[in-house]
Structure 1
Amino acid sequence: MTPDYPRGATGLLLVDPYNDFLSEGGKIWPRVQAIAEANGLIANLKAIADTVRGAGMRVFYAPHRRWEPGDYEDWAHPNPTQRAIMHRHSFARGEWGGDWHPDFIPQPGDVIAKEHWAQSGFASTDLDQQLRQHGISHVILIGLLANTCIESTARYAMEIGYHVTLVRDATAAFSEEMMHAAHVLNGPTYAHAILSTAELLAALSRESG
């Protein structure tokens, strides 16, 4: 059964909606393109964000660190993704790739959390504080990537007491195997609901009356 999403206590977490991930010409778009297009990712992300805002619920952005010169170079233990970012300059601050995709520019009333350095939107950021100050108990996660930032942020949310929803076709990854791991193998161990976009929209429409 699809859960209820109380209007005043539900927040949408939009993770890393940057041009480098979601736009033609983005540095990482070629690696997610096949799955993103098969999922109808852009349309699904937009439909969910529009419906959430239309229902009077709040959108929270959980953005990745925008790369700047010197990032990670003298770190003791940069992870493989951080090393790739250091060489690829993904999400570079002040450049097109690090700008919001034009369909996901923050709107008045949205909350932009501080940027996360690795995978969890909660680690070393104010995301938890922002959610709690806005009375949020239920979080819906959409964006990229399914098996890294979405999974890590969602797991942490569960650990600190939030009701967690994943949306299978409002995310993407580099392979079908990664998507399978995120939603079939790992997701059921921590998420309270794993829905399609259509199922989520129906639930949100029910909540908005």
Structure 2
Amino acid sequence: MTDTQYEPAHTGLLLVDPYNDFLSEGGKLWPLVEEVATEVGLLDNLRAVTAAARAAGIQVFVVPHRRWREGNYANWNYLNRDQAGGNEARIFEAGSWGGEWHPDFAPQESDVVVLEHWAQSGFANTDLDFQLKKHGITHVVSIGMLANTCIESTSRFAMELGYHVALVRGATAAWTREMLHAAHELNGPTYAHAIVTADEIVAAFKGTQAA
């Protein structure tokens, strides 16, 4: 259980990569994550955490991966495996259903949609740090996809920039149980200030709302 105080004026919920390709039946990546996502109750936990954050007046920041567009990686040096595979499969293709938001996690009018990140960190080559600072955010809570790539890279970067970082078990997933275990039990404690369950962060947000 966390004893951290998540003051609405200074807390940001980072909702990372909530695309159909990741989270919806029929998405290109859903078959790869479905088993782990179902096991941890991913979609229900994401719904609960985002609803609790909004009810408490906590600012939601949507942190999206770069949508596939023709020529995205033309003449690039050093594509990594995920970039090469995503380029070939046209993951999160702009203008396609897979590149649209999962309907339950589409940005609301009050949300901040950050510039798309090209690799794994939601901070690199985007305006995320600027937006957080302009909104007075000191504490970030990271949810979305994937636990061991974009969630981990974005959250590590947040720690390096001086933010308090919370990871949420059940509100993220990975291709395998081993990857999810590594993200929370091995790597997470080296940079996160809190690693909590979805129920715990919902309770913390509700406690803030009641206060």
TM-score by length of 2: 0.98
Tell me the CA shift for residue 73 of structure 1.
3.4
Partner of 1:196 in structure 2?
197
Q: How does 1:73-152 map to 2 (within 5 A)?
A: 73-152=74-153
Q: Give me the identity figure in percent.
A: 59
What are the Cα deviations for residues 152-186 of structure 1, in whole angstroms up to 9, with x where unaligned? 00000000000000001100000011001100000
Q: Which runs of 5+ in 2 are unaligned?
A: none
Amino acid at match of 1:18: Y
Tell me the CA shift for residue 20 of structure 1.
0.2
**2-11 vs 72-81, greater mean Cα deviation:** 72-81
Q: Distance in 2 between matches of 1:107 and 1:52?
A: 13
CA contact (8 A) 1:73 1:86 kept: no
Partner of 1:28 in structure 2?
29
How many residue pairs end up in the alignment? 209
Say which SS state the counterpart of residue 208 (structure 1) adopts.
Answer: helix
Partner of 1:51 in structure 2?
52
Say which SS state the counterpart of residue 71 (structure 2) adopts.
Answer: coil
Q: Distance in 1 between matches of 2:50 and 2:203?
A: 14
Say which SS state the counterpart of residue 165 (structure 1) adopts.
Answer: strand
Segments of 4+ in structure 1 off by > 2 A?
none
The answer to whether the aligner puts 1:162 opposite 2:148 as a matched pair is: no
Q: Which runs of 5+ in 1 are unaligned?
A: none
